[in-house]
Amino acid sequence: MDKEVLINAGAGEIRIAIVEDGRLQELLLERVIGLEEGFLKKRHEGRHGHSLIGNIILGRVQRVLPGMQAAFVEVGLGRAGFLGAREARCLADLPGFDEERAPKISDCVREGEEVVVQVVKDPIGEKGARLSANVTIPGRLLVMVPNQPGIALSRRIEDEAERARLITLGETMVAQGVGSLIPGAGFILRSAAIGCELRDLREDAERLAEAWRPVMARRKNARAPATLYHDLDPIERTMRDEVDGQTRRVLIDDTVSFEAARAYCRRAMPDAEPRIELWRGPGMLFDQYDLEDELEQLTSPRLALPSGGWVTIEATEALTAIDVNSGSYTAATGLEETSLTINLEAAEEIGRQLRLRGIGGLIVIDFIHLNEPANIERVLDVLTRSLARDRTPTQISSMSAFGLVEITRKRIRDPLVKLMSECCRSCHGHGRVRTRESVALEVIRRIERAAVNAPGKLITVRAAPEIVQWLEVHDDDVRSGLARRGAGQIRIEARPEFAREGFDVST
């Protein structure tokens, strides 16, 4: 497998594309406009694309709801976070509770109490962040669990001999680490640990201990709500989580980000540093891989299949419905073969689209009807393999008599369509229109492209007043970010005759 990681560290957002064998497989977005001290610094409001996942926060319990077996915790956001009893079990000093049976929430927390929690799901829609009291700090090879001793393994490590070897190494590491590691902490060995030796694990564990000690120190003097720990910035997080032994190279189109990636590799994964390359053109990085058009299609409900059929993806409040259509395709051997061909294409593509679009929750797929049980199994096998590549926990049902397959995929954050668009009553029947922010970020990307094509020239932007207003509100961040990207001279004009999505960038 030829795997490449492409990092477009633009002035408005960081976009990370994972390309395998020439095909886009993963897309990660982190918006950066509005950050206080430069684009690699952190912001914890949890809005407009900034992810909170992994942040450790000292919160205060607002309400305890025994009927829901949950508590709401003030964590400094617009809405209180949600802490379930199962996620709060480590706060209960009670014997006899195991993985199958959680304690009562009232045994874990009390109203007004300060608790250390970690964000495990970003705020989604009207719901606050999902929290856990069993905090973790991920490293390159290990995940440290300060509140839970023991050694565990990633489910992606499947070889039994390797599992046994890693368990032994992990136990040895803890036994030999008295004084240098956090007392009582446990570790989960990640799939990146496959083939590693004791020294590699010990070094990673010691780095995690150094990351945790300041958290404990801040906890002593902090007053709730207060953020005690931020996860790595998007560049370092990508190196940690996405770059593995199958990665041929990492292409980064920004000098600052390139140096940040190299610095992280020197600290945590020196073997990967030679694979990091600075993209110097010609043109824009994502254009070179023909990704811009594909990214544009990720918010469209209709997706074409190779044979001429298509898939329609529509989200509702309760679930996401996916409909498979044969379109113009007709197999010479009959209806069953036609349906099988289209269904197999759809099954292969659906897993990829769920990852790229960030779709979670309940998903129902309406496949074209099949009569032969063997054909049904073939479709389910392809769908299962497509979903198996997903790091996000996913479950799949069998096919019903009506050709329906149900999938549940853990919902981590808002799907791409909600991040990029909003409901609209005057969008000519489409139901959604691009948000003001997403249009403004597209304007910023067009300015970057104009700067690449015409270095040193004045760039003039004409856009709708609401887009200009957004750019002016973030003027310092916009202009400093664009200057870093080579666009130094910019003039912005508001044009009342332009609709929200209409704009012009010229030199």
Whole-number pLDDT of residue 190: 93
| Helices and strands (DSSP H and E) totals, the chain | 13, 26
User: Distance of CA 124 to CAs 190, 318, 419, 498, Å?
Assistant: 27, 14, 10, 31
| Domains of the chain with bracketed CATH | 3-41+233-292 (3.30.420.60), 56-132 (2.40.50.140), 137-229 (3.30.230), 298-416 (3.40.630), 435-506 (3.40.1260.20)
Q: Please give the share of the chain, as a percent, with pLDDT higher than 90.
A: 65
pLDDT band at 47 (very low <50, low <70, confident <90, very high): very low
What average pLDDT score do residues 44-68 get?
79
Q: What angle do CA 178, 184, 188 make, to 5 degrees?
A: 100
Q: How far is CA 231 from the centre of its chain?
A: 13
What average pLDDT score do residues 428-435 get?
70
| Angstrom distance (rounded) from CA 384 to CA 396 | 8
What average pLDDT score do residues 210-218 get?
94
| Angstrom distance (rounded) from CA 348 to CA 378 | 11
pLDDT band at 328 (very low <50, low <70, confident <90, very high): confident
Which residues are bridge partners to 153 per DSSP?
189
Q: Please give the share of the chain, as a percent, with pLDDT higher than 70.
A: 93
Cβ count near 221 (within 10 Å): 7
Could you tell me which of 416, 393, 394 has the C-alpha nearest to residue 407? 394
What average pLDDT score do residues 125-147 get?
91
What does the mean pLDDT of the chain come to? Answer: 88
Whole-number pLDDT of residue 443: 94
Whole-number pLDDT of residue 156: 85
Cβ count near 431 (within 10 Å): 12
Helical ranges in 15-104 per DSSP H? none
- Indicate the Cα dihedral angle 266, 482, 24, 155, nearest 10°: 40
**Residue 388 parent element (H or E):** helix 373-388
Whole-number pLDDT of residue 97: 44
| Angstrom distance (rounded) from CA 289 to CA 19 | 9
pLDDT above 90 (res 377): yes
| Angstrom distance (rounded) from CA 205 to CA 192 | 14
Whole-number pLDDT of residue 61: 96
Residue that wins the pLDDT comparison between 109 and 125: 109
| Angstrom distance (rounded) from CA 137 to CA 83 | 19
What average pLDDT score do residues 377-381 get?
95
Q: Helix (H, G, I), strand (E, B), or coil: what is residue 69?
A: coil
Residue that wins the pLDDT comparison between 5 and 2: 5
| Angstrom distance (rounded) from CA 400 to CA 503 | 48
